[in-house]
Amino acid sequence: MNYELVKIFEKLLSQKANLYQDGNISFWCPICKLEHHKKKLNINLSDDKKRFGKWNCWNCADKNSMKGKNLISLLIKLQASSETIEKVKKIIQSSVKINFDNLFFNKLEIKKYICLPKEFKSLAESSNSLEYKNAINYLIKDRGLVFDDIIKYNIGYCGSGKFSGRIIIPSYDKDSNLNYFVARSYYGAKPPYLNPPVPNEGLIMFEMMINWSLPVILVEGAFDAIAARRNAIPLLGQSLKVIKRKIIENNVKEIFLALDKDAIGTSIKYIEYFFQKDISVNLIKMDEKDPSKLGFKKFIELYKNSIPVSFKDLITYKLNKGWV
């Protein structure tokens, strides 16, 4: 048993581990919080490579997806810092001698174990707390959302913990499984956005909401997609690799681009790519404000008045390094 790993989990869970001769250690589970006389969260740290890293909570494995085949998925479930994850990775590589890259950093498995912060509270559930009132005021007064948006996207907030004072906007994949969330401060804290400890590369935010038989709108952020209110995907600064594949697979005929003015080069690159695939592209020129600042009504006016980019337009944009 690697006692360095034991110490890391004891510090992370703020409790002493029970150690067993078979290489298992156990804790009280921080997710179901069942303080039974036997600790239910078991982690295997044995020298047996076939069993090493497997973990589960005997009480809530099925209910809360509290089971897995490697330590990294557990660390992500427990919202460990990137520094802790890297430290565990190095220990595994040096002492356990298991190929980390092949076994432990499978992006699909990481997505499977992402969960909302344990302090998450839905804004659909009314409260007299100051945090609830401040979060609601931020969304409605500062962001122009309506209560239907809050319900539709299951928007919540955290009044304490790592994401304290932040709006939480969950994202769900095509099977309605959580695949990411955005955390935005409603007090003006810096950084304004605090990402969960998982990569956003390779996912489609709000995929559950997308109808691939209709035109798709590509925007910068989550609030922009909510403001658009119709088949919008926020890019979150990631590449279009997965989104492009989905667009081609589903034979999407029309794309609307509504990216920031300072992303002119990126917009031109996307237009050129979709042109090559015989997909019509409408460029919504965001000259001053992004969709979330414009609001739904003004954005939809721009949406309705946009026209497909022609080949001549594309050449003009490329020569002028922007739209005119």
- Which CATH number is 141's domain given? 3.90.980.10
Answer yes or no: do 192 and 203 share one domain. no
Rounded mean pLDDT of 271-281?
A: 91
Comparing 19 with 35, which gets the higher pLDDT?
A: 19
Helix (H, G, I), strand (E, B) or coil at 239: coil
Model pLDDT for residues 150-167, shown as the tens digit of each residue: 999 999 999 999 999 999
Structure tokens at 113: 């174990």
Four-residue CA torsion sign, 302, 308, 314, 316: negative
If one counts the domains in the chain, the total is: 3
Confidence (pLDDT) at 238 = 73
Contact 306, 281 (CB under 8 A): no
Confidence (pLDDT) at 105 = 45
Q: Packing angle between helix 82-91 and helix 3-13, nearest 10 degrees? A: 160
The domain in which residue 295 lies consists of 199-324
Answer yes or no: do 14 and 107 share one domain. yes
Answer yes or no: do 209 and 319 share one domain. yes
CATH of the domain at 306: 3.40.1360.10
Confidence (pLDDT) at 155 = 96
Q: Dump the DSSP string for 16-68.
A: PPEE-TTSEEEE--TTT----SS--EEEE--S-TTTTT-EEETTTTTTTT-EE
Domain-ending residue, one of 197, 223, 239: 197
Answer yes or no: do 94 and 131 share one domain. no
Residue 281 clears pLDDT 80, i.e. is over it: yes
Domain-ending residue, one of 92, 113, 134: 113
Residue 111 clears pLDDT 50, i.e. is over it: no
DSSP 235: -
Domain-ending residue, one of 197, 230, 260: 197
Q: Which H/E stretch holds residue 178? A: strand 178-185
